[in-house]
Structure 1
Amino acid sequence: MHDVVIAGAGPVGLLLACELGLAGCDVLVLEQEAEPTEWKAMPLGMRGLSPTSVEVFHRRGMLPGLLRASGADQYAGADADLEVAPAPRSVAHFAGMMLDPADIDADALAYRLPSPVLEGIMTSLEAVESVLAEQAAKLGVKILRGARVSALRQDADSVTVQAGDQEYQARWLVGCDGGRSTVRGLAGFAFTGTEPLFTGYTMLATVAEPNPLRPGFNLTPTGMYLRMPTPGHIGMLDCDGGAYDRTRQPTLQHLQSVLRRVSGTDVTLDDIHLASTFTDRAMQTDSYRQGRVLLAGDAAHIHSPLGAQGLNTGIGDAINLGWKLAATVYGYAPDELLDTYTQERHPVGAHTLEWTRAQSAVMQPDPHAQAIQTLVRDLLNTPDGVTYVYNRTSGASTRYDLGSTHPLVGRNAPDFRFTDGKHLSDFMKEGGSLVLDFTADQRLHGGHVGHADLIRYVAAPVVNDLGCGALLIRPDGVIAWADDHDPDLTAFERAAERWLGATTL
């Protein structure tokens, strides 16, 4: 019997497999595709990773490989030796309205410290999956391709999965099999939400010259189009209520008609090499767990790709679930730990759906939406507006409610730099929990931190302690407890036992 079977070898499934493998779990990944498709390679497989997602790869030692696979040798990460973190250099767009990163108010970005990874990167699904698959193999994870899940049954102790003519048994099953998740349907998850307002298209085409399409995002009175740097790589949104979904393959004539209407040009397409459709249908399961079956990524929530939130939300799911599921497998987790996966990640997914719905609504061609668009555009031309969008899209504003009033608790830990030149990320490659003790007398030392297999104790001065004396950091990088320079040891004990199942005294 496996500890965990994961359905889906996309970025979310593979990252989850790596997290479980890092903890020593026996993991099997079942992927329905025999080989990666051309849709995952550049240019159509292009995806944006937020700074928070890039940090996940950095903390697990996979960032150099990801940068190489992404062709991002000139990654514009911040200089980690600076005293103050520089303002972000990219903030993307909102509903096709481009934003100026120079308008970001860096002083309003809470707890931002200098780090090698303060910027997002452009990558591809192919690059992300190749790096994660290589890491998974090193950790002993087995990946079976061409194995489509067709049935499952579960009892109080295990889950049995049918794939092809084989059955696989595990203590837990996680569906990371995308927006049309088979696992979600077989396990009976409720999946509710809103119907689409537009049909989206992405294509690789041969465009006749001269090409009248403007580069970049272009929001128009009838929709939006995006002309990418790669010749013929075009995206467009048609506000047709999602009428032209994946039920039919778009023809050259149809794509040209939509592009002309959306762009307001007489553009001519000579040939279509690849084309696909999508919508802004926004749906979410009411829980991310049903018995011994869990969901992550698009299997748990779908929405439009506006704002590049899908992949990043899925990465957040995987890094949150991985250590909790591993702790449950090994039996040292508190009974309620696995339930906190839904408690923490479901609101994040719900906010993502709201974020993308807002963008869909403001792009509509009716007079009311156009009036709101004018208002939003004015707001986005202010530092407050741009800073707000950056906080939402970068993951910087994500904070879990962990029952503490301390402003750092529940946030992703800043990359504290120690006076010897090391960073917090240097201690996180193995995936365990950390106690950082900045107090002069090392109040948490000398027996207060036990269970060395669960909690690593690091006592050293840092360049900027953000007013903290000590912190407890979970394996996913989230601060579970923080206190000033006279730490409350009782509160520390409660936090360690709640999140790690560890009695430390």
Structure 2
Amino acid sequence: MKNADVIIAGAGPAGLMLAIELSLAGVRPLVLERHPNRRDTPKAGGLGGQILELLRYRGLLERFQAACPGPAPAPRFPFGGVHLDFTRLADPPLHALPLPQQHLERLLDERAGELGVDVHRGHEVTGVNQDDAGVRVDVRGPDGPYRVSARYLVGCDGARSRVRDWAGIGFPGTVYPEVNRLAQVTLTDEVTVLGNGDLDVPGFGVIRAGFTRTDHGLFGLGSSPGAPSVSLYTIEDETTDYDDDVPMTLTELQDSMRRVLGVHLPLAGSTRLSRFTFKARQAERYRAGRILLAGDAAHLFPATGVALNAGLLDAVNLAWKLAADLHGRAPDGLLDTYHAERHLAGARTMLHTRAQVALRRGHDAAAEALREMVQELLTDEQPLRRMGSMIAGADIRYPMPGPNPHPLAGTFAPDLPLHTGQGTTRVAELLHPARPVLLDLADRADLREAARAWGQRVDVHTARTDRRPSDALLIRPDAHVAWAASVDEPADTAVPALHEALSTWLGTP
């Protein structure tokens, strides 16, 4: 087997997304996955948050939407035992795509194949050594052991990452003594779904929709009259260390419901059965020399619905920086910004998921009062929007160099409608190739001339927009704004600032 520029350990969502983004940037990665086949064990039930916007900016969202087995659910989300209901907002800050992880991995695998990515399944990384020049990776494959070398190794090998251990990166945090079981099931004919979403169970009575807290745990029910299935959720305090590769069964779910709620719920079948424990852990560093981490190898969050979003955004942030280094044009410190930015984003996600733990695990009257008060606050639009943006990861603003950066600098680029000489387009379409973009919104010849020396590294576009937020935007491949010129900013400040931003993010011209 030939050597590679980048070896990716793990062909889960983060690893495949990283491979796709590296390929778009002109790097050929090698993906090594210890399992011989894609796993069908249900894990995450869908995508949500900022990654949906990023997929749209890559031109992939419609493809992913088409693969969903069911319609997109109404924008209602659990938050630590209370509810976030965005249905009354015309533009919810948080959306979900009901794409189970096994379908997501298939789509990412197909996209990687279209780009010519080498994904070797049944090849387990068994050892790693690194020096200043690169990494040497020992692998056990179907035909025996071998060694492959690369400039960099990225550990996308999950919560029990061996790459993280070999790199000597600490993974501090907390393990919560609880087991969560989540299922999408069909009911037998003897169970009636009432008009308000409650269930009428013979011999027991009514189980109300939403969350029911008992002395033995938490039970959740989501259903709609006429819907083919219902969502069930249980949480119990338990210290069993389950193997994630051993699937949950209907019997295990029914036993859990009997312990928590005291009911035997007749079930006809299931479309999703998953079990997980909650941990709050974050790697001390996302980089150790030529070894980097992404996805669950870098962070574990104690709440549902955020891990995939965070891991895929890790991959997008890292890929273009690794590619710049491998192509020999990365400015000093560029690769270190991966840790600085994504560790910050991970800490922000940890903040709200730990807050959910505090809301969810309290059992006394004070905890009930706290949940009631938070639920009341979340009926107001401003706190509801703020919480939705936080969960989506849309409130992240990466720190940008220089004094007094523009308010857009460090944020996800707004998808402005654009008018050009060739017609209309949007910012999202300019980011499909995953290249840096300088967007001139005020026909500033001085700024276009200032970027001429970087012409091979940045795509320059001139367009008009109805309400321009700035005269120009420098947008990184990960769709974050690296620099912006204020409206009518004079050339004597805008041009030097653009030169500085281009040098900081794209290197010496």
| TM-score under structure 2 length normalisation | 0.85
1:280 alignment partner, one of 274, 278, 281:
278
> Helix, strand or coil: the match of 1:422?
strand
Contact 1:223 1:365 in 2 (8 A): no
2:7 alignment partner, one of 5, 8, 12:
5
The share of aligned pairs that are identical, in percent, is 34
Number of the residue aligned with 1:450: 453
1:157 maps onto 2:169 in alignment: no
1:190 maps onto 2:170 in alignment: yes
In structure 2, distance between residues paired with 1:214 and 1:70: 29
Number of the residue aligned with 1:145: 121
Number of the residue aligned with 2:80: 95
Contact 1:26 1:141 in 2 (8 A): yes
Using a 3 Å threshold, how does the CA distance of structure 1 residues 75 and 230 change in structure 2: closer, same or farther? Answer: closer
Could you tell me how far 1:388 is from its partner in structure 2? 1.8
In structure 2, distance between residues paired with 1:459 and 1:207: 57
Unaligned runs of 5+ in 1: 77-88, 110-117
Paired AA for residue 423 in structure 1? R
Could you tell me how far 1:263 is from its partner in structure 2? 3.5
2:506 alignment partner, one of 495, 500, 505:
500
In structure 2, distance between residues paired with 1:71 and 1:272: 14
2:312 alignment partner, one of 310, 315, 330:
315
Could you tell me how far 1:444 is from its partner in structure 2? 0.9
Number of the residue aligned with 2:47: 48
In structure 2, distance between residues paired with 1:408 and 1:142: 37
How many residues in Structure 1 have an aligned counterpart in Structure 2? 473
1:66 alignment partner, one of 64, 67, 70:
64
Contact 2:450 2:495 in 1 (8 A): no
Structure number having the greater strand percentage = 2
Could you tell me how far 1:364 is from its partner in structure 2? 1.9
Number of the residue aligned with 2:179: 199
Contact 2:219 2:257 in 1 (8 A): no
1:325 maps onto 2:322 in alignment: yes
2:344 alignment partner, one of 341, 344, 347:
347
Contact 1:96 1:217 in 2 (8 A): no
In structure 2, distance between residues paired with 1:369 and 1:261: 22
Contact 2:127 2:139 in 1 (8 A): yes
1:413-445 Cα deviation digits (max 9, x unpaired): 011111231111222121110111112443312
Could you tell me how far 1:56 is from its partner in structure 2? 1.8
Could you tell me how far 1:327 is from its partner in structure 2? 0.5
Contact 2:187 2:266 in 1 (8 A): yes
Using a 3 Å threshold, how does the CA distance of structure 1 residues 309 and 274 change in structure 2: closer, same or farther? Answer: closer
Q: CA RMSD in A?
A: 2.8
1:344-397 Cα deviation digits (max 9, x unpaired): 000111221221121122112421322321221221222222112211122221
Number of the residue aligned with 2:241: 245
1:125-174 Cα deviation digits (max 9, x unpaired): 23322222222222221000111212111111111112211222111000
> Helix, strand or coil: the match of 2:425?
coil
Paired AA for residue 479 in structure 2? G
1:469-480 equivalences under 5 Å are: 469-480=471-482
Contact 2:155 2:161 in 1 (8 A): yes
Contact 1:105 1:387 in 2 (8 A): no
Contact 2:173 2:281 in 1 (8 A): yes
In structure 2, distance between residues paired with 1:253 and 1:231: 17
**Greater alpha carbon shift after TM alignment, 439-448 vs 265-274:** 265-274
1:155-207 Cα deviation digits (max 9, x unpaired): 11111112211222111000111112121122221000112042112357776
Paired AA for residue 114 in structure 2? K
Could you tell me how far 1:398 is from its partner in structure 2? 1.3
1:374 alignment partner, one of 348, 372, 375:
372
**Greater alpha carbon shift after TM alignment, 311-320 vs 244-253:** 244-253
2:485 alignment partner, one of 480, 483, 486:
483
Paired AA for residue 396 in structure 1? A
In structure 1, distance between residues paired with 2:33 and 2:230: 31
In structure 2, distance between residues paired with 1:369 and 1:310: 26
In structure 1, distance between residues paired with 2:322 and 2:451: 26
1:430 maps onto 2:427 in alignment: no
> Helix, strand or coil: the match of 1:150?
strand
**Greater alpha carbon shift after TM alignment, 280-289 vs 57-66:** 57-66
Number of the residue aligned with 1:24: 26
Contact 1:364 1:370 in 2 (8 A): no
Contact 2:211 2:221 in 1 (8 A): yes
**Greater alpha carbon shift after TM alignment, 328-337 vs 364-373:** 364-373
Using a 3 Å threshold, how does the CA distance of structure 1 residues 269 and 100 change in structure 2: closer, same or farther? Answer: closer
> Helix, strand or coil: the match of 2:447?
coil
Number of the residue aligned with 1:297: 295
| TM-score under structure 1 length normalisation | 0.86
Number of the residue aligned with 1:112: none
In structure 2, distance between residues paired with 1:305 and 1:3: 35
Paired AA for residue 98 in structure 2? M
Could you tell me how far 1:274 is from its partner in structure 2? 8.0
In structure 2, distance between residues paired with 1:245 and 1:276: 14
Contact 2:75 2:95 in 1 (8 A): yes
Using a 3 Å threshold, how does the CA distance of structure 1 residues 171 and 90 change in structure 2: closer, same or farther? Answer: same
Using a 3 Å threshold, how does the CA distance of structure 1 residues 166 and 421 change in structure 2: closer, same or farther? Answer: same
Could you tell me how far 1:304 is from its partner in structure 2? 2.8
Number of the residue aligned with 1:83: none
Number of the residue aligned with 2:384: 386
Could you tell me how far 1:272 is from its partner in structure 2? 8.9
Contact 2:450 2:498 in 1 (8 A): no
Unaligned runs of 5+ in 2: 192-198
1:336 maps onto 2:336 in alignment: no
> Helix, strand or coil: the match of 1:280?
strand
In structure 1, distance between residues paired with 2:373 and 2:154: 43
Number of the residue aligned with 2:196: none
> Helix, strand or coil: the match of 2:396?
coil
> Helix, strand or coil: the match of 2:232?
strand
Contact 1:203 1:276 in 2 (8 A): yes
Contact 1:197 1:360 in 2 (8 A): no
In structure 2, distance between residues paired with 1:379 and 1:174: 42
